[in-house]
Amino acid sequence: MPTNTPIDQLFINTRAENRAALIAYIPAGFPSQSGCHKVIEALAKAGVDAIEIGYPYSDPVMDGPTIQAAATQALENGTGVTEVFTALKHASDQGVAAVVMTYWNPIERYGVAKFAQAISDNGGSGVITPDLTIEESAEWRSAVTASGINPIYVVAPSTKPDRLIKVTEQCGGFIYAASLMGVTGARSGISSDAGDLVARIREVTDKPVSVGLGVSNREQAKEVAAFADGVIVGSAFIKAIQEAPDEASGLAAVAHLASELALGVREAR
């Protein structure tokens, strides 16, 4: 998969610096359209390396209550495909690598080839598709190849060894390792499954591996960054916004958390 997207370049750079990349997740249109853009700016300024724009969806099977509530709010704010691409472009314009995370249904509804091309046109590196299996990916694979973006698949602790080889072969940009069985959400501790899963992935590929699900503070970021190429944080940022009394406090909380996590990933090795 010889692409050279911003996310491909990011992992070349972070590996040369001997550190993990910090990847932040924010749903498009949350807490509002303009608020989302301000959050993106705050994240980029505070040291986040890449931003994952969530496509708010009414039936988010992989998402925990924090992200579900944010997605519902985003949908109530009128967020659709146009707003997702606008947020993606805004992230890319800040000089960070940017990807979209979406369930398959919105891609199919928009038009598979058209969606992949729009990602590229708006500066995006690729798409994380948590509910798309490699067996059902033929149309998507040809679309991402044509538009030069990365197809990012999710593997879990339950993924069997032979399947791990098949899925990682088809990943581009990075492999998304879900660190535990279950839905997204900030947790008090990192599952030991995360390290085991990354070790298993390393046995079959040298592609970058990013760990998502559960990281919420500097210490946890440091812990995951010791063995992974990327640390993905979502629910903790959303919670910081949800618990803030107003927009300015929410942005300050996001910036503080991002700078702490950025220190965490740099302290790990």
- pLDDT tens per residue across span 73-100: 898 999 999 999 999 999 999 999 999 9
Q: Structural domain boundaries of the chain?
A: 6-13+20-267
Residue found by looking up tokens 């946890």 in the block: 220
- In 3D, which of 48, 68, 66 has the Cα closest to residue 58? 68
63 annotated active-site: yes
Give me the catalytic one of 49, 52, 223, 229: 52
Dihedral sign (CA 3, 7, 40, 23): positive
Give me the catalytic one of 8, 49, 63, 229: 63
260 annotated active-site: no
Residues 23, 233: contact at Cβ < 8 Å?
Answer: yes
CATH of 6-13+20-267, one of 3.20.20.70, 3.60.150.10, 3.30.420.40, 3.40.50.11900: 3.20.20.70
What DSSP designation does 58 have? S
Written as tens digits, the pLDDT of the chain (269 aa) is 557 999 999 999 999 999 999 999 999 999 999 999 999 999 999 999 999 999 998 775 666 788 888 888 898 999 999 999 999 999 999 999 999 999 999 999 999 999 999 999 999 999 999 999 999 999 999 999 999 999 999 999 999 999 999 999 999 999 999 975 444 444 445 556 889 999 999 999 999 999 987 899 999 999 999 999 999 999 999 999 999 999 999 999 999 999 999 999 999 88
